């Protein structure tokens, strides 16, 4: 009897799989070239170095929910799936044709959500709201948006770095986002503004909060807000370190391996600082609950 039930179940699942196979093949056909482009244009730079980590951990989070998704799965409304595809596919095609990786990645993300809706439905997708939100960090922000945000941050980092080093007698001067020390002129680029670190830090912090803390959205929002000043402070220290390396050891040393090493070290330090703040806040909240 159980054998008959199992065979009937396999018979029911097999047609469902084959019915969604064209959607899955189409999604894979779109995802492969976009992933290659992301690897070449975005993930190979410091600004997008978190991309492969987000992709692998995001897919793993969805895989963890697989059993729950299957229990609550109901095929999504066809009209809503079609509407999603009508929006996402032109976005993908336009971004792919004109080399707008932000639009291309956003269109691919929309197609992925549409395929998931067709297979599992809205009710089941609510159980994976965080992995879907987390995977949205794979969409690189457009350049004009990053330029508008990083411009004031670069000025702030340049000002604070110059003022701090001058307090210790370092002969550094600033003109806009250009720092002048001895015979060298150093330009504070987008990578040193803090925004690049913020994107990766926020993504990894959200993953940490969701997986290990399972915290409320209020606490999660509070911790994410702390990431912003932590990233800016870390990049101020990074710029100051590079200025000092240039002053004492020359431009070749500062712009070589140590330039990337300083970025990786300070990103790791900032991430550890986020974890430390989380542990301290959790300890304080537990003490308050016990006292209450």
Of 85, 199, 223, the closest CA to residue 134 belongs to: 199
Whole-angstrom Cα distance, residue 271 to residue 201?
A: 6
Count of other CB atoms within 10 angstroms of residue 183: 8
User: 3-state class of 189 per DSSP?
Assistant: coil
* Active-site annotation holder among 192, 225, 287, 288: 192
**Pair 60, 106: CB distance under 8 Å:** no
**Residue 290: exposure state from Cβ atoms within 10 A (0-12, 13-18, ≥19):** exposed
Kindly list the distances between the CA atom of residue 193 and the CA atoms of 100, 102, 134, 171, in Å, as whole numbers in the listed order: 23, 21, 23, 22
Residue 70 a catalytic site member: no
Catalytic (active site) residue 238: yes
Q: Rounded distance, CA 179 to CA 171, Å?
A: 10
How long a stretch of residues is the chain?
292
Q: Which of 74, 225, 238, 286 is catalytic?
A: 238
Please report where in the chains the tokens 């991430």 appear, as a residue: 271
Q: Show which residues are catalytic.
A: 192, 238
């Amino acid at each position: 009897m159980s054998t008959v039930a199992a065979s009937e179940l396999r018979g029911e699942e097999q047609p469902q799989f084959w019915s969604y196979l064209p959607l899955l093949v189409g999604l894979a056909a779109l995802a492969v070239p976009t992933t290659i482009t992301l690897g070449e244009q975005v993930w190979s730079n410091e600004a997008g170095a978190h991309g492969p980590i987000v992709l692998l951990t995001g897919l793993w989070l969805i895989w963890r929910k697989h059993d729950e998704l299957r229990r609550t799965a109901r095929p999504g409304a066809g009209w809503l799936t079609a509407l999603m595809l009508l929006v996402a596919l032109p976005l993908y095609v336009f971004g792919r044709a004109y080399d707008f990786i932000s639009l291309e990645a956003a269109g691919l993300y929309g197609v992925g959500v549409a395929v998931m809706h067709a297979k599992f439905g809205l009710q089941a997708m609510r159980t994976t709201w965080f992995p879907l939100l987390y995977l949205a960090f794979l969409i690189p922000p457009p350049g004009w948006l990053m330029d508008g945000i990083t411009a004031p941050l670069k000025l702030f980092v340049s000002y604070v770095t110059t003022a701090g080093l001058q307090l210790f007698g370092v002969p550094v001067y600033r003109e806009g986002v250009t720092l002048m020390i001895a015979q060298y002129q150093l330009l504070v680029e987008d990578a040193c503004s803090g925004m690049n670190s913020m994107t990766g830090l926020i993504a990894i912090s959200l993953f940490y909060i969701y997986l290990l803390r399972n915290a409320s959205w209020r606490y999660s929002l509070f911790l994410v807000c702390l990431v912003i000043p932590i990233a800016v402070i870390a990049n101020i220290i990074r710029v100051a370190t590079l200025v000092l390396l240039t002053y004492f050891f020359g431009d070749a040393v500062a712009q070589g391996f140590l330039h990337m090493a300083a970025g990786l070290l300070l990103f790791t330090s900032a991430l550890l600082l986020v974890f430390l703040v989380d542990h301290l806040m959790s300890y304080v909240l537990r003490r308050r609950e016990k006292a209450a």
